[in-house]
Structure 1
């Protein structure tokens, strides 16, 4: 059976090529034998990418390297295209960042912890911590809301409770890109519900993503200045 199948394949021979109305057709299906490409190395930090490029490892195979900042959390290194017009993507870098879900309601304790662990310290973050950390739970239902601003009952002293204005909008710097670069600062809408529960909503239309990508690009350009000047490395975002 195997011998008969092999003989059948041999008898098929090379497909004939015919031209019809200016287009070429083959008498048999043909499949491209693709040139091999390397499996990309998976990294989690920009420093790992920089160390790899400075080591000149694989330089003989890839004398020129392009670095593409794909998104705030992804960077890819690749060479020029091969004979199949396919590029060799040999490095993929994906950022490890702490988890915080925007547009989701957290209870006050969880929100307080998230503010301290997933946001860079700045003035508005500290103000929010004071409000959230001193809310009088039994009085949270007395919330005055004009559609934009909110007010809650919170401790303002050792034994004093007063109506405190909830800051809104707030300018914050959550960890949203590689930790090696400066985190972009942007506006958020801070809202509260009975419970008490707190949530943050992005309010910059996604402009932070472009800023984060530029921050990553500048970081790489500074670290790889020698390689860039010699024409070995190019960085795009």
Structure 2
């Protein structure tokens, strides 16, 4: 009985191949033993990514930098014999939270504008309006279907009807801090309360601008020509 069991276990570990209709089959499933791959380092800045790569701390092989989005950049090597890539590092930008298409009360909107947007003329105008609006009633005016009027303080003691600016050009903080935040157009609307909201109006074109700026920054930092040298960059 023991002899038969040993024979069975021995045969169990043996693998044979069989040819059927010109194709070769294995009598047992085979599993590929893959090359080990490192876990990617995670950072939150482009400068951190650059410093790591310039240090040659883990590798000196040719690397590809992929600008995946305005907030994500990854670095990987060529495929190995298993046709897999080693991902060395990934940068993910930390950006303040702002919900577009959502109405905020004027106090919350004021805080968000100051903390999540780069100063410019239109931001200044919106801050002034949100801080001085007097009435809860927001009225539509004109025949274009888009204009709005609110009553706001226009002097030390004077209030008057003020037209709501629309559209506005703003630069939210929505990509890496090392590059200029791209400006884009927004539709600014108000509701009774009063409440304020911004709606994106550039069709996502700002993302292309941001990704190009990230690529330009990396090229300058690595001082490389596209397609030459140890570092290659795509966006």
Does the TM-score normalized on the shorter chain lie above 0.5?
yes
Q: Is the 8 A contact 2:67 2:214 kept in 1?
A: yes
Name the residue aligned to 1:116: 114
1:64 alignment counterpart: 62
Which residue in 2 is equivalent to 1:95?
Answer: 93
Could you tell me which runs of 5 or more consecutive residues in structure 2 were left unpaired when the two chains were aligned.
Answer: none
1:15–1:229 Cα change, 3 Å: closer
- In structure 2, the CA distance between the partners of 1:145 and 1:25, relative to structure 1 (3 Å rule), is farther
User: Alignment RMSD, CA only?
Assistant: 2.1
Give structure 1 stretches of 5+ with no counterpart: none
Residue aligning to 2:83: 85
1:176 corresponding residue in structure 2: 174
Q: What is the TM-score normalised by the length of structure 1? A: 0.90
How many residues are aligned here? 230
Closer/same/farther in 2, CA of residues 49 and 120 from structure 1, 3 Å limit = same
Does the CA contact (< 8 Å) of 2:17 and 2:25 recur in 1? yes
Paired position in structure 2 for 1:216: 214
CA distance in 1, matches of 2:103, 2:9: 65
Instruction: Check 1:53–1:21 CA distance in 2 against 1; reply closer, same or farther (3 A cut).
Output: same
**Would you identify which runs of 4 or more consecutive aligned residues in structure 1 move more than 4 Å?**
4-9, 226-230
Cα pair distance change 1:43/1:227, threshold 3 Å? farther
Q: Please, which of 155, 159, 162 is the counterpart of residue 160 of structure 2?
A: 162
Comparing 4-13 and 139-148, the one that deviates more: 4-13
